[in-house]
Amino acid sequence: MIDERYVELINKELDGFNTESESKELQQFLSENGEALQYYDELLRAASALKRVDQVEPPSFLKTHILNSIKSLPVPVRSGLGWMNTVLDLFRQRPSVRYGVVFASGLCIGILLFAIVGPWRRDGMPLASKVSGSMVSRTEISRLHVIDSVALDGSGFQSVFKTFQGDGNVTVECAVEADENLRLELSADPRELKFMGFNRLGGTDIDVIATGGKIVFTRTKSEHGLITFTEVASPQQPIEVRIYKEGTVVGNVSIRTN
C-alpha cells in the first residue's frame, strides 16, 4: 500500500507539475520502494498509450452547419448601456478599481452617517463645539429679574457675573478684563440647566466651547457676553465659575440660579 502523499507525487510527476524538490523526493522514494516503482511505471505506460490516440477531425460539413444555425439567431449583445458594461468590466478586471470603489463608498457612508447622526448627538448631549448665537439679547436682559450678582477679582484681572431669571431659562452675564489670557469655565448642573446659546456683547472674538454642563472660554483677556441656559428642572444648584491662568485656578465663585 503506497502512502497517499506519494500517490499524489507520482501522478503530479506524470503531469509535470512537481517542483524540483518534489521530483527529487519522489525519485528517492521510488529507488527504495519496488511496489511504488512498479505502480509509477504502469501509470507512465498507460499515460504514454493515451498519447498515441490522435485527435479526430470533425466532419467537414460541421462548421457550415453551425454557422447556418447561428445566422438565424439574434446577435448577442450585452444588456444595459455600453459605457456601464465598460465600467463593470473595469470593476471586475482591476482589483485596484475594486479597492478604490470600496474605499470611496466607505468614506461616503461615513460622512453621511456623521452628517445625519452629528446633529442628533449635539441636540441630545452637547459636544465640545464652537458655538455662537443668542437666546437672550441685551435689550431683553434689561427686562429680566436679577437672581444674583458677584464680582471676582484677582491678580491681573477683574470680573463680574450676574444671573437673570427668564421664562423657562436662566441667563448668565459675564464680564472679564485681564492683563493676560485667562481660561474661564462656567459649570451648571446638566440635570437642571441645558446650554442654549451665547450672545457676545463685546470683547475679543475667542472660541467658546460648550460640553455637557460646562461652558469654556479657552483664552480671553476681555469678554462680555450672555450665556443662556434652558431649565430642564427647577434649578437648585449654583453655577460654578473658575478662572485659570496658565493651568492654575486663580479664582472661583458660585452664582445662584434661583
Q: Where are the beta strands (DSSP E) in 17-81?
A: none
Contacts of 254 (CB under 8 A, 6+ apart): 150, 238, 239, 240, 241
Q: How far is the CB of 121 from another protein (least distance, A)?
A: 44
93 is an interface residue for another protein by CB under 8 A: yes
Report the C-alpha gap between 174 and 164 in whole angstroms.
11
94 is an interface residue for another protein by CB under 8 A: no
In terms of Cβ atoms closer than 10 Å to its own Cβ (0-12, 13-18, 19+), residue 16 is exposed
24 is an interface residue for another protein by CB under 8 A: no
**Could you give phi then psi for residue 242, rounded to 5 degrees?**
-130, 140
Q: How far is the CB of 64 from another protein (least distance, A)?
A: 10
Pairing of strands 169-187, 214-231: antiparallel
Contacts of 216 (CB under 8 A, 6+ apart): 183, 184, 185, 186, 208, 209, 210
Residue 134 contacts residue 199 (beta carbons within 8 Å)? yes
46 is an interface residue for another protein by CB under 8 A: yes
Output 96 or 248, the one with its CB closest to another protein. 96
Report the C-alpha gap between 215 and 188 in whole angstroms.
8
77 is an interface residue for another protein by CB under 8 A: yes
Q: Which of residues 221-250 bind another protein (CB under 8 A)?
A: none
Q: How far is the CB of 96 from another protein (least distance, A)?
A: 15
Q: How far is the CB of 11 from another protein (least distance, A)?
A: 5
Q: How far is the CB of 4 from another protein (least distance, A)?
A: 9
Paired strand residues for 175: 160, 224
Tell me the CB-side half-sphere exposure of residue 53, using CA atoms within 13 A: 5
Report the C-alpha gap between 226 and 224 in whole angstroms.
7
Interacting span for another protein (CB under 8 A) from 53-61, 150-158, 212-220, 237-245: 53-61
Report the C-alpha gap between 257 and 189 in whole angstroms.
10
43 is an interface residue for another protein by CB under 8 A: yes
Q: Pick from 1, 20, 75, 139: which binds another protein (CB under 8 A)?
A: 75
76 is an interface residue for another protein by CB under 8 A: yes
Q: How far is the CB of 75 from another protein (least distance, A)?
A: 5
Tell me, by CB under 8 A, how many residues bind another protein: 40
47 is an interface residue for another protein by CB under 8 A: yes
Q: How far is the CB of 85 from another protein (least distance, A)?
A: 9
91 is an interface residue for another protein by CB under 8 A: no
Output 68 or 139, the one with its CB closest to another protein. 68
Binding region for another protein (CB under 8 A): 7-8, 11, 14-15, 17, 38, 41-43, 45-47, 49-53, 55-59, 62-63, 65-67, 69-71, 73, 75-79, 89, 92-93
